[in-house]
Structure 1
Amino acid sequence: MDVPELLRRAACHVPALTAGEAGTTLADANEYLDHDEWEVALDILVELGDAYGSEIAYWDFLAKAARMMWLARTERWCHWRRAEVNHGVIRAELQLVAPGVVGGRRTSVPGDGRLRPLWDIGDVTAAGHPDLYVARIWVESQPDLQPGGGGVVRLAPLSPQRWRRLSAGDVITMHEQRPVAGTATVIEAVFPAADDAGRDGE
């Protein structure tokens, strides 16, 4: 399939009355497709995918189109959203420790899901020590988090079933070594009815 076909197949999944945060609609996406403005159409469809209960196939179409257009960050975001369909959405307000403090980063946190720090979500080992779990970070609305900075992030745990007890208001800590590297307050935690709901061969 070429890019226009992939985008049109994705568009077929969107309910007609869906509107994005900026007020864009399926009709807008189709109009840009009709004028071969593929990148704009893709951006609209990505936004619409966050406005309705999108499925795995939807994000697969968009990811393939983004890859064919060499839009690496958009492709990564589509893969991220695909995983959230499977495992749920965890969003948190993260505050990094200042770079002069033990545990503080001296480089920025990349915002596109590459960093995989450990997290203390309140579980303990049989010996009574914190049981830390890996989760990738996606930074919302900015390309990265500067050292000592803060912002809203999305988390993608490598063992998502362990995170299902989290709810808004819970406080968790980020670790890259033993000292705390950041503190996050959960602002949204929404999980599918079953962890394999909608799974279509990851």
Structure 2
Amino acid sequence: MDVPELLEAASLLVPERIATENDLTVGDVWEYLAHDEWEVALGLLEELGDVHALPPGFWEGLATAAEELRLERSTAWCHWRAYEARHGIIRARLTLRPAAEATRRTPVAGAGVLRPMWDIGDRSADGGPVLHIARLWVEYAPELEPGGQAPVRLAPLDAARWRRLRPGQEITMHEVRSVAGTAVILEAGPPPATSAG
């Protein structure tokens, strides 16, 4: 499929009744598609996906379209959202330790590249922490500086182990054995119910 076909197919999965914060709907997507405004249509479909739970196929179609348009961050975001549609969402407010107190001296890349370890409360037989791996996406920013704070999304390697997390729970991020940051869970839930998969 070419880009317009991918975007048209994705738009068919969006209920007509939903609208973005600015009252844009799937009808507006069709207007942009009719005028070959593919990047605008893609961005609007991403926004509509934030308003209503949509199936992984929606996000995969958008990822393919974004890749064809050579929009790297948008491609990565749509793949990320397809993961969340399958495995659930985990959002947290992450505070990184300052560079003077941690091994990290450079910013954390924001688009799901870093795969740090996390202490989510599991313990080994000897009482030590069991660390789990989850990719990290910094929301609303391309990176997070040492000492900085931002809302983040986590994509665990084994999502089932993270199901017991609850809002308000504190977890710690590790890039080595020492703590690199602390996160407070904002949202944690199973995959959303969607009308198609």
Map 1:177-188 → 2, pairs under 5 A: 177-188=176-187
Q: Is the 8 A contact 2:89 2:191 kept in 1?
A: no
Q: TM-score, normalised by structure 2?
A: 0.95
Identify the residue that residue 85 of structure 2 maps to in structure 1.
85
Does the 8 A contact of 1:56 with 1:198 survive in 2?
no
Give unmatched runs, 5+ long, in structure 2: none
Amino acid at match of 2:171: I
TM-score where L is the length of structure 1: 0.93
Q: CA deviation at 1:23?
A: 2.9
Residue 125 of structure 2: aligned partner? 126
Q: By how many angstroms is 1:29 displaced?
A: 1.0
User: Which segment drifts farther, 13-22 or 69-78?
Assistant: 13-22
What SS does the aligned partner of 1:119 have? Answer: strand
1: CA distance, partners of 2:106 / 2:22: 33
Q: Is the 8 A contact 1:85 1:198 kept in 2?
A: no
Distance 2:196 2:9 in 1: 19
Return the alpha-carbon distance in structure 2 between the equivalents of residues 27 and 198 of structure 1. 20
Aligned residues: 197
1:7 paired with 2:30, answer no
- Counterpart-to-counterpart distance in 2, 1:131 and 1:94: 20
Q: Spell out, residue by residue over 1:85-104, the C-alpha distance to the aligned partner (whole angstroms, 9 max, x if none).
A: 11100000000001001x35
Q: CA deviation at 1:4?
A: 0.4
The letter for the 1-side match of 2:71 is L
Distance 1:35 1:198, change over 3 A: closer
| Mapped partners of 2:130, 2:195: distance in 1 | 29
Q: What SS is found at the alignment partner of 1:57?
A: helix
Distance change (3 Å), C-alpha of 1:133 and 1:69: same
**CA separation in 2, counterparts of 1:25 and 1:149?**
36
How many percent identity over aligned positions? 53
Kept after mapping to 2: 8 A contact 1:98/1:104: no
Q: CA deviation at 1:150?
A: 0.6
Aligned partners of 1:18 and 1:25 also within 8 Å: yes
Change (3 A) 1:121 1:198: farther
Distance 1:137 1:22, change over 3 A: farther
Q: Which moved more, 1:35-44 or 1:24-33?
A: 24-33
1:96-175 mapped onto 2 (5 Å cutoff):
96-101=96-101, 103-175=102-174
Tell me which amino acid in the other structure corresponds to 1:8. Answer: E
Q: 2:68 maps to which residue?
A: 68
Query: For residues 71 and 6 of structure 2, what CA distance do their matches in structure 1 show?
Result: 15
Deviations 1:87-131 (A, max 9, x none): 100000000001001x35210010000000000000011121100
Runs (4+) off by over 4 Å: 197-200
